[in-house]
Structure 1
């Protein structure tokens, strides 16, 4: 017997009927939203219209997404990211740890149809409200990275060297990633090259 898996879930994890229903509903809402955004523009599309297009109630919409912005910004990979990062080997230095984290994050993103959807990233780049929401999520991710690196490396979270390292790495990573519309191999290569330059002391 093989384990049932669904995009956005850990390989080998069985997915129950209730969870499958939730996934189908989230997908239906996202697909409805993207159709409406394309037809009438992001700003002109309301939550009520998305719910109607997805054939769900207004209440159901908010059961799955906190806002119209979160339909686009949010992904379903939190558990997968946590598991992948928890499985990283111990004893890496801070640059090798950064490379290992990036490898896992990009792998998960590329394997997930919604996260890797180029139309999603184009929309985020095009809409000021989405760019702002995306920046807030990015800032939150950097704060979480400080805590994770501090715990892994055995230093205090307020260590100024750690904070400069995370800020520099995060700034470079988001700048490169945001300059493209899809998280493809070229973006990953450019990010790793940037990490190499940081490790070398930013030689010119």
Structure 2
């Protein structure tokens, strides 16, 4: 599901305490993102170069690419992969597919809302308004669907290429991404309820 939408300190993630080196790296990532957002606001996303972002952040062009592979990925990436892996590992066994889906939605929503960059409304507006970012985000969404299929297959004990599983994950993922992308502020208290209501409708066979 999408990981949006409060503004705040870009790149400061929840999780285990970081050492001094980790804290410095986190501060540098945040400084680069903050500088980028200032430039995007003042001159536009497409008009802003990596060189300008690096200069605004007080780092070298090379340093930028040590932290981010591209300008697009600087915006798209949410730095929550490790926490998501921990979340998956902590899910108790024995859940049915719809209860498993609900568990994932609740857990991923909490992760996103606890992270200022993942939940930044400024970032969310960029992703939905800039064509190159929309394309990059769709690629990320497709990858997330593939990863979810593999996880559900392992958890439920079925083959990843099972047609029923693929349809289930594609339907659930499509609904979740559609809702998330259509909400201007994911921190709204009703968004999680909206997502879970959608799961209820899927489980009920999509009644109208």
Q: TM-score range by the shorter chain?
A: over 0.9
Where 1:115 maps in the other structure, the secondary structure is coil
Residue 3 (structure 1) aligns with: none
User: Retained in 1: the 8 A contact 2:121–2:184?
Assistant: yes
Greater RCO, 1 or 2 (C-alpha within 8 Å, sep 6+)? 2
Q: Does 1:166 align with 2:151?
A: no
Match for residue 13 of structure 2 among 8, 19, 30: 8
Alpha-carbon shift at residue 190 of structure 1 (Å): 1.1
What does residue range 41-120 of structure 1 map to in structure 2 within 5 Å? 41-120=44-123
Q: Deviations over 1:158-198 (max 9, x none)?
A: 00000000000000000000001222232221111111000
Residue 199 (structure 2) aligns with: 195
Shift >6 Å, 4+ stretches? none
Residue 34 (structure 2) aligns with: 31
Q: Report the TM-score, using the length of structure 2 for normalisation.
A: 0.92
For 2:203 and 2:166, how far apart are their aligned partners in 1?
Answer: 15
Q: Deviations over 1:30-85 (max 9, x none)?
A: 00000000000000000000000000000000000010011111111111111011
- 5+ residue gaps in structure 1? 1-5
User: Retained in 1: the 8 A contact 2:78–2:117?
Assistant: yes
Residue 135 (structure 2) aligns with: 132
Q: Report the TM-score, using the length of structure 1 for normalisation.
A: 0.94
Q: Deviations over 1:103-139 (max 9, x none)?
A: 1100000000111111110111110111111111011
User: Retained in 2: the 8 A contact 1:99–1:192?
Assistant: yes
User: Retained in 1: the 8 A contact 2:75–2:123?
Assistant: yes
Where 1:188 maps in the other structure, the secondary structure is helix
